[in-house]
Structure 1
Amino acid sequence: MSDTAPTAGLDRSASSRASSVARWVTAVLGLGVILLVLRGGSLPAPVPASAPGERFSAERAREHLRFIGAEPHALGTPRHAEVRDYLQARLRDVGAEVQVQRAPVFAPAQGIPRPAANVENVVGRLRARDGAKGTTVMLVAHYDSVPTGPGASDNGAAVASILEVARALQQGPALAGDVLLLFTDAEEQHLLGSTAFAASHPWARESGVVLNVDARGNAGPLLMFEVSPGGGWLVRRLAEEAPDVGAGSLFTAVYQRMKNATDFTALRQGGWQGLNFANVEGTQAYHSRKETVDAVSDGLLQQQGDTLLALTRRISREPSVPEGEELIYFNAGPLRVHYPRSWAAPLAVLWGGLFVFAIFRARQRKQLRLWAVLRESVVLLLVGFLASSLARLAWPLLKALQPGFRALSRSETQDNARFILAVVLWVMAAMGVGLYLRRRAPVMELAAGGCVPWAVICIAVSIVLPGASALFLWPFAGMVLLLLWLGRRGTEPLPQWHVPLWGLAALPLLLLLPGVLATFYTVLPLERAAVPSDLLMLGICLLAPGWLWLAGRGLPWASGGAALLGLGLLVSLAVGQRFDARNPRPTGLLYLVDADAKTARWVSSDPVLNDWTRAYLGGDPKREAVDALPEVKGPFWNAPAPAPGEDVRGPAVETRLEAGEGGRRKVSLHITPSRPDAAFVDVQVLPGDAVVSARLAGQQAPGDTLRTRNAAQGVLFRYWVPSSGGFDLELELTASGSPTVRVGEHTYAVPASVTQGLPARPEDSMPVPFGEGLDEGTRVTRTLRLEAAAMEVSPGPTP
């Protein structure tokens, strides 16, 4: 069979004869579909406090939020205790049984430093009506905040919503099943509260459904981003009771392979089925002082409450938790689609087979050449990766245009939407130029070439990550149907009215891709905008001939205009960047004391210093690693600081060393903080391979689970808010070597005697958001060596 070139090129047929009316109609309809998808995340109107008692009211929930989110209430602070007591009182007001679970907990698998704390979970229970045997539902939110922000959105809004849901449940129809209300402690310290509940609370042994609500930002609609294994039936209930809530098995598949976790993680691992919710927009405020009550919208409160109330009432009526079912599910505009996950691979193989059939039939009819299809696929991908490379350059370019962005602890702007739009325009511009250069390629070769990467990805994802398969399967299926239809025509040019069929074939892509892109662009740091940009360029590849037809000969001009507009948006961001009281710059400063040498220094993890930090660090600070701060990757700015006063002593350490089995040694450390407001105490053991096992907060952990890839970090423990009586750490050590133990005590305040004469923090700056740099305040460290020759050391404070 000869492989002669097809005669039906896009410019010579459809593009040259397509009417502007048809193009405009296609463009408007496509844009309308995209807007319909994006509008699917709109928030409901808030219900006033005058509404009937069985309804959820955002206005009533806001009254709780005004108290909870008024100021920071981090673990162990007086304000934290006030919020705890408030929750108990409000639960009693609605007739709930109330308990406070106080427990020490050590969770070495959940973070570095290996965390421990004494937690206080607030637990309530609403009993079902007499004789009712429905399913137990547990509503969960953490009530602690970070020390750097009031936590009105993370997670005060969810706590307030659950309190209002509890009231509405009591005033509505009698409950068919018990409802647990769990307000966890120390979520910000690696989920210690939920870990303690799952491990030791008797109610955790029951079976039921957990609905957890958290927050990644302070704006946007609710997203159901994780479902427990076997929770397909819960997806169905969500679609029935809260169809306006965004959801997708893609998000679950991706999230469960990330390092992130919420309280839902500990409860899911404890055997509960459930759904995990969060709002993910407004990330600029995350863990900062901008997480205020006023920044939380009534619409978000209403959506949280309506969703939890409807699901609780519905699920509690289930006679038992149904058998496990795995679903693929997604939002397609106003539609909620779900089907068994076991269908993923067969569907991918089916559509892949139809694609191969369409290719070979088109070759038989001399509509395309196989080698040319592969050529077009490679060319499209090369152009696409060039386009997504521009997304990788956008954040470095913005920092070059405005050095102020180099000072930020994370890649955020004051208007992330403008940055994202600039990236999208650049990707579209680069793809447009590349497609225009291929305008003479035969229609079928270009269309089939754009489908090749989708076919490969679709089959691979359906096997490896089936929850994410829908995003690739159905857009690919739409184009395969189009290729099958076009293959019936032979080599004659396409009539004008046939070309808009690309718009119809693109419908699955237009229904699925915009919502996914919007979520990924929002959730991921701006410096990682290339990840969703790769999806965008793959979408353009899939629609290559239709894209060319839609823009026609004006595509180069449209691409150039898009590129200039994108650059203009970045320039406007650079020019408009200002640090002020409304948009403060994150800055951090630590007073680091060596109690053994009685010396101190100022340390900052800021990428770039400002006038305030330079007033402390001086004109010539060093930038180097600081061994006493192993929990955050350096280097750090540091300079000598005034020597500490006698009141800065650091933790007291009592040691006992005794012989163990097989030549090993056992060391008991009792560590007592010197201050009642100590935020945490760190214990670092070097070298880490000297630790055979450790026991902390009543839990034993083997040494191989405690060590990290960073040998210089050794084994690092952190006990959050230890009691005034201190805590015990037992180490089992190898027979050889002389491990060094460094103990550090951290408080969030700096002695007034040290800062006398130095400027206070200006209004245009704020502490670095929690977890993104060094914790501010005072860190006092001391070091001791456990000698190999000593068999027993008398207890006493270490000098």
Structure 2
Amino acid sequence: MRNGFLVLVAAVALALWCSEPPAPKAANAPADQFSAGRAFLDIAEIAQRPHPIGSADHERVKAYLVSRLTAMGLTPVTQSERILRQGHGRAVSAPITNIIATLKGADAQAPAVLVMSHYDTVPDSPGAADDTAGVASALEIAHVMQRAGTPPRDIIFLFTDGEEMGLLGATAFFAHHPLVSHIGAVINLEARGDSGRVNMFETGPNNRAAIALWRAEVSHPTANSLASAIYKLMPNDTDMTLSVQRGLPGLNFAFMGDEMAYHTPVSTPEHINLGSVQDMGNSALAAVKAFAATIPAQTENSVYSDFLGVFLIQYSFFTGWVLFAAAALAMFTAIFLAQRSTPFAWGRGILGALFAIGVPALLLWLAGLSFGAVHHYMRVAYFDYLLAGAGLIALGAGLFCAGSFEDRWRPAAVWQVLMLITLALATAFQLYMPEGAYVIVWPLLAASCIAILRYGVFRGEDHFGAVLVTGLVALIFIAQVVMMALMAFTSLGVDLPLVLVAPLLPVLLLTLVVPGGRLPRAVSLLILIGGAALFAYGRMAPPTSTHPQPTIVSYVYDAGSGKAYRAEYLSNGDAWTKAVLGPNAQKGPLPWFSRRSGWFTETKAVPVPSADLSVARLGDKLEVTMTAAPGAAYAELSFRDKAGAGPEELMPAAKQSNARDVRYFAPDRFTWEVPVPKSGALEIRASVLYPEWPEAAQKLPSLPEGKMAFSYHAATEVMLKREWKK
């Protein structure tokens, strides 16, 4: 019992230690080194306040970047245009200004390296991390590369605009800018949260050479090909999506710890972890240096992963099959040696293994269900408690179930069955996602080697040498799996705690195969109970100033009915929301737009900025004109024919699209053309958002401790509706 407990505790401690970002270097660090202290000077200046498109602070940041680049001796140029991006049934349009500066290289004809970050933020967030940290890191990288002398090739620094609106600046750059043909490789800097290690989570196509070049230059990297493979299947996008679509090689970096700061007022310069900025700079600077020397060729993809965040392992898909075969051979050898040394009960082993995986899966699924419809940002407030709780629930339940089928005279073959299950999963990964098979193959190979040592070399004698050697191997590989589990939970686990079942399998396997690895059921039960208590606290703890809940309260004027409302779109009906909305607050479909729900109450109608919506037929098209008063942040149009479907195609600016919903930023007046619907009747709904609360309306009280503004909080929405019929 003591061995297994010590191995687990030491492995978790090692994983947590390896997951810490490096210490930030001071502003007086040598000029040839990336300094988070110097980068912070830019973060503090840029992230004073939110700076979304259309705001005064957006203009302030734009001017600052141009001035900063000019002071560095570069010659910044701007790319300004209104850009339209469409997809997934939606279209978005906004005026953007990209800022571009080139550090000239020795060979002006050689393909250039593009370093990309975005300088706009969402409303209500200063964006110290997303993406001011990326912008400041790019500026510091330019400083370091400038001091190092003339690089072998041009290095282009692109500060995109409108990323938060839908990758608009990157869309404009890659669609229209002449420098695109000069680019040979891309490095993108992003953030989701404001702490933690920086992960290189996405690459361009055929990444083997890009990874190899970066690997030779970087120290203490964090990256793995499973994350990149999974990211391709997700709907998430960054500016690098546009370069990937063009087939350019590249690397995408981001840190994502403390997600409470992602897109919220918490993301201030004082809150950001400078160690994370240092980690981003170290990793990205290594990529810039590597690609400046050699633009990566594009031949094939590869398998790669950092090991404990210390070094990067990379190999081909063929080598992956070789390792898989070696793990399978070692596994069957280990099972044979163990069975020859100590006959195991396979029936109880099968039951123990199935329960050791199935029961934790059930408990984690129920833990996820406990959130109900609670908004994501209300879940992440106590992230650390949820992470620790979910991990202990999985581990405690797994070890309890595995130990419940043991017998003092004839042990159950639990670890052998877990090996067979692991081999089956490894086979599936090798066939369908070879980039991710290593997460199964490496622990399986390690566990098999431990068993071979235990039953073949030490012949089942659990003396000090056997325990020491096998325990150290298990400790290192369990720590590696725990680091993967931390990343998986940070990416998906708050909304889907069930994700921890995947790393639980190799952790159980490695723990149980060590001599004395099984914990008494009483200890396992205590771990389970402790995990449940931590998760429950993380789920139920009240909001505080350091663990706030988001809120969006709007004043809504329905021009069709002449009625006005106060609405809250995120709340779970807490006392503050009910006090703000009044005693008649109710939750349900919104009267002005029944396809959305929230808390609302009718209030006194007061003067609001004007807005108008008109429809005219022009041949086989309908011309929809939206007019808003000055100062509107955006207007949103929604098209539905009377049968409930959207038009087959929309044609904004003479470009065809299948968009049914359109968001148009800085919308003073614009026209949208749609085909005449086949049903002969079209419903058009419009929402115009003004970022300020109406002057004549009763003022909102200040947000209390434990509440934070989110998105366009304290804004005015004007709702309009038109129906067109033949």
TM-score, length of structure 1 as denominator length: 0.83
Q: Which amino acid aligns with 1:457?
A: L
1:503 to 471, 475, 489: 471
SS of 1:246 mapped into structure 2: coil
Q: Which amino acid aligns with 1:241?
A: E
1:330 to 305, 312, 323: 305
| Residues 1:638 and 2:606 are matched in the alignment | no
Which residue number corresponds to residue 530 of structure 2?
565
Which residue number corresponds to residue 71 of structure 1?
49
Shift of 1:146: 0.9
In structure 2, distance between residues paired with 1:486 and 1:444: 17
1:684 to 634, 638, 653: 638
Superimposed CA distance per residue, residues 146-183 of structure 1 (whole angstroms, 9 cap, x where no aligned partner): 10211111111111121122122222221111111111
Alignment of 1:336-415 (within 5 A): 336-345=312-321, 347-349=323-325, 351-352=327-328, 355=331, 373=346, 376-394=349-367, 409-412=376-379, 414-415=381-382
**CA contact 1:622–1:638 (8 Å) conserved in 2:** yes
Q: Which amino acid aligns with 2:603?
A: A
Shift of 1:77: 0.7
In structure 2, distance between residues paired with 1:231 and 1:224: 12
Superimposed CA distance per residue, residues 397-449 of structure 1 (whole angstroms, 9 cap, x where no aligned partner): 6x7xxxxx987653535442233222222222222322222222855833321
- Aligned-pair Cα RMSD in Å: 3.0
1:182 to 154, 158, 174: 158
Alignment of 1:393-472 (within 5 A): 393-394=366-367, 409-412=376-379, 414-440=381-407, 442=410, 445-472=413-440
Shift of 1:279: 0.7
Shift of 1:547: 6.0
| Residues 1:256 and 2:206 are matched in the alignment | no
Q: Which amino acid aligns with 2:685?
A: R
| Residues 1:537 and 2:493 are matched in the alignment | no
Structure 1 gaps, min length 5:
1-14, 16-22, 400-404, 660-664, 707-714, 789-799
Alignment of 1:91-240 (within 5 A): 91-109=69-87, 113-129=90-106, 131=107, 134-240=110-216
**CA contact 2:213–2:296 (8 Å) conserved in 1:** no
1:783 to 718, 721, 724: 721
In structure 2, distance between residues paired with 1:205 and 1:224: 25
Q: Which amino acid aligns with 1:785?
A: E
In structure 2, distance between residues paired with 1:642 and 1:548: 73
**CA contact 1:680–1:746 (8 Å) conserved in 2:** yes
In structure 2, distance between residues paired with 1:731 and 1:112: 14
**CA contact 2:161–2:169 (8 Å) conserved in 1:** yes
Shift of 1:786: 2.1
Distance 1:696 1:117, change over 3 A: farther
Shift of 1:112: 6.2
In structure 2, distance between residues paired with 1:467 and 1:568: 37
Distance 1:171 1:545, change over 3 A: closer
Shift of 1:240: 2.3
TM-score, length of structure 2 as denominator length: 0.91
Superimposed CA distance per residue, residues 93-132 of structure 1 (whole angstroms, 9 cap, x where no aligned partner): 22223221112222221x6643222221111111113x46
Distance 1:615 1:326, change over 3 A: same
In structure 1, distance between residues paired with 2:220 and 2:618: 63
SS of 1:154 mapped into structure 2: coil
Which residue number corresponds to residue 622 of structure 1?
586
In structure 1, distance between residues paired with 2:37 and 2:543: 33
In structure 2, distance between residues paired with 1:219 and 1:751: 37
In structure 2, distance between residues paired with 1:749 and 1:122: 29
Shift of 1:140: 0.9
In structure 2, distance between residues paired with 1:779 and 1:99: 36
**CA contact 1:116–1:696 (8 Å) conserved in 2:** no
Greater shift after overlay, 62-71 or 560-569? 560-569
Shift of 1:654: 4.4
**CA contact 2:208–2:298 (8 Å) conserved in 1:** no
Shift of 1:315: 1.4
SS of 2:166 mapped into structure 1: coil
SS of 2:328 mapped into structure 1: helix
| Residues 1:720 and 2:720 are matched in the alignment | no
Greater shift after overlay, 331-340 or 300-309? 300-309
**CA contact 1:374–1:449 (8 Å) conserved in 2:** no
In structure 1, distance between residues paired with 2:204 and 2:42: 30
Alignment of 1:507-526 (within 5 A): 509-526=477-494
Distance 1:421 1:547, change over 3 A: farther
Q: Which amino acid aligns with 2:570?
A: D
In structure 1, distance between residues paired with 2:174 and 2:347: 54
Greater shift after overlay, 408-417 or 582-591? 408-417
Greater shift after overlay, 259-268 or 431-440? 431-440
1:610 to 574, 579, 590: 574
| Residues 1:653 and 2:620 are matched in the alignment | no
**CA contact 2:210–2:297 (8 Å) conserved in 1:** no
Greater shift after overlay, 591-600 or 182-191? 591-600
In structure 2, distance between residues paired with 1:73 and 1:112: 28
SS of 1:384 mapped into structure 2: helix
In structure 1, distance between residues paired with 2:203 and 2:113: 15
1:670 to 621, 625, 633: 625
**CA contact 2:305–2:312 (8 Å) conserved in 1:** yes
Q: Which amino acid aligns with 1:590?
A: S
Structure 2 gaps, min length 5:
none
Which residue number corresponds to residue 448 of structure 2?
480
SS of 1:736 mapped into structure 2: coil
Distance 1:672 1:324, change over 3 A: farther
Structure whose alpha-carbon radius of gyration is higher = 1
Alignment of 1:53-64 (within 5 A): 53-64=31-42
Alignment of 1:7-18 (within 5 A): none
Greater shift after overlay, 410-419 or 665-674? 410-419
In structure 2, distance between residues paired with 1:136 and 1:648: 48
In structure 1, distance between residues paired with 2:574 and 2:13: 42
**CA contact 2:376–2:495 (8 Å) conserved in 1:** no
**CA contact 2:547–2:706 (8 Å) conserved in 1:** yes
**CA contact 1:435–1:544 (8 Å) conserved in 2:** no
SS of 1:122 mapped into structure 2: strand
Aligned residues: 721
Q: Which amino acid aligns with 2:673?
A: E
Q: Which amino acid aligns with 2:502?
A: L
**CA contact 1:408–1:585 (8 Å) conserved in 2:** no
Which residue number corresponds to residue 796 of structure 1?
none
Which residue number corresponds to residue 749 of structure 1?
692
**CA contact 2:321–2:430 (8 Å) conserved in 1:** yes
Greater shift after overlay, 742-751 or 198-207? 198-207
SS of 1:313 mapped into structure 2: helix
In structure 2, distance between residues paired with 1:181 and 1:734: 46
Superimposed CA distance per residue, residues 348-398 of structure 1 (whole angstroms, 9 cap, x where no aligned partner): 3553355457657877x59658xx64762343122322123333344666x
Distance 1:394 1:735, change over 3 A: closer
SS of 1:635 mapped into structure 2: strand
Q: Which amino acid aligns with 1:657?
A: R
**CA contact 1:448–1:483 (8 Å) conserved in 2:** no
SS of 1:692 mapped into structure 2: coil
**CA contact 1:97–1:124 (8 Å) conserved in 2:** yes
Distance 1:535 1:621, change over 3 A: same
Which residue number corresponds to residue 738 of structure 1?
681
Distance 1:58 1:698, change over 3 A: farther
